[in-house]
Amino acid sequence: MYRITGDQKYQEWGWQIFESIEQYARVEHGYAALVNVLQTNMTSNLEDSMESFFLAETLKYLYLLFSPPTVLPLDEYVFTTEAHPFRIIK
């Protein structure tokens, strides 16, 4: 939405999401899944797993949110639901 509207609230929301991921899910060798996002005891709230879509989709979309519009321009690429970019054939 940010690239279409230019509304910086989307970047602000994205940065809050990134900071929360770093604060609550970051572990020594990557990121853990949270058992319950409403739980405050973080020690027992981490699951020893990291879904592949976290890197392939979540972090890719966060990267694109802050990258220049020349990186995978939306008038040249379309994204699948799994965040794979496909060049638009004109």
Note the pTM of the prediction, 2 decimals.
0.82
Q: pLDDT, tens digit, for every residue of 4-19?
A: 999 999 999 999 999 9
- Residue 23 token pair: 């604060």
Task: Find out whether 44 and 21 touch, Cβ atoms under 8 Å.
Answer: no
Q: What angle do CA 15, 18, 22 make, to 5 degrees?
A: 140
Query: What's the pLDDT tens digit per position in 20-65?
Result: 999 989 999 999 999 888 887 777 888 889 888 898 899 999 999 9
Determine the pLDDT at residue 71. 95
